[in-house]
Amino acid sequence: MTQEELGAKLETGAKNVQRMEAGKQNLGLHSLAKIAAALTVDPMSLLAPPGSGLPWLRDGGRASLLRALATVDWRSASAELPRPPGSIPFLTLRAAASPPIPNDEPEVIAWLLPPKEAPRTSARWFVAQVSGASMEPKIPNGSLCLFRPVAGNDYVDRVLLVQHRGVADLDTGGSFAVKRIARVSRNKSGTTVVLESVNQRFKPIVIESRTDDELRPIAELDRVLWSPATAG
């Protein structure tokens, strides 16, 4: 099948097909399904590893994350499209529970459209992957989690995604971490925050800061949407 013929079946131009083949086009699940139908193949066969002859799907694992999320029936739209009404972003951010993982500035993988039975979300909700074993079994390593905005100022006993820029020995290896807030105490010299893991093999992290800006609460865990532990 030529690029022109595939483009005609997809109702797009040959140049867009070229972009897909060159790896320059983000593809949501809906697009993958249309391509699979046009090629008369199983959609799962398009989620190919390096060396498969499909370079436009070698996207650093993004396709596999979308495939995982598809098991919980969340529709997606390409990140290159305008944000659909009612959608939330699926971010490249990998929040480290442990071990060290580099974190870059997060980008949008796709726009997600929660099903009707999902919690009512807003523009500030998002989905991201949590890596590491320190929050197991509550958050299995590699889980895709739904996060909601942090409400109120009492963070104790809540599982938060936090960002920390000033302490080199934070065990995440990056600026983002998911931990339970065990204790927050303030005095004239600053604030002390104790970050606690669910997995008892990991020691609590004590952060002492002079300003509240050093440790920022970004979002609160709403639920685990998908985890390798429950994958079939």
Whether 1-59 shares its CATH topology with 60-227 is answered: no
Is residue 58 pLDDT above 50, yes or no?
A: no
pLDDT winner (highest mean) among 25-29, 70-74, 196-200: 196-200
Instruction: Please tell me the least confidently modeled range out of 3-12, 93-102, 217-226.
Output: 93-102
Q: What band does 28 get if pLDDT is binned at 50, 70 and 90?
A: low
Query: In the chain, where are the structural domains located?
Result: 1-59, 60-227
Which range, of 17-21, 36-40, 51-55, 226-230, averages the lowest pLDDT? 51-55
Whole-angstrom distance, CA of residue 190 vs CA of residue 169: 19
- Residues found in the chain: 232
Overall CATH class of domain 60-227: mainly beta
The token pair at 49 is: 């590893």
Tokens of 173: 């290896």
Lowest mean pLDDT among 8-17, 117-126, 129-138, 141-150: 8-17
CATH topology of domain 1-59: 434 Repressor (Amino-terminal Domain) (1.10.260)
The better pLDDT of the pair 34, 138 is held by 138
Higher pLDDT, 118 or 232: 118
CA dihedral 27, 49, 55, 44 (to 10 degrees): -40
Average pLDDT over residues 20-33: 63
pLDDT at 47: 52
In this prediction, residue 127 carries a pLDDT of: 92
Contact in structure between 104 and 163 (CB atoms under 8 Å):
no
pLDDT of residue 232: 55
Mean model confidence pLDDT for the chain? 75
Comparison of pLDDT for 109 and 219, the residue scoring more: 219
Question: 165-199 pLDDT, tens per residue?
Answer: 544 434 444 567 889 999 988 887 778 889 898 99
Closest by alpha carbon to 63, among 34, 92, 86?
92
The average pLDDT across 105-111 equals 78
Decide: residue 151, CB within 10 A, 0-12 exposed, 13-18 middle, 19+ buried.
exposed
Higher pLDDT, 175 or 119: 119
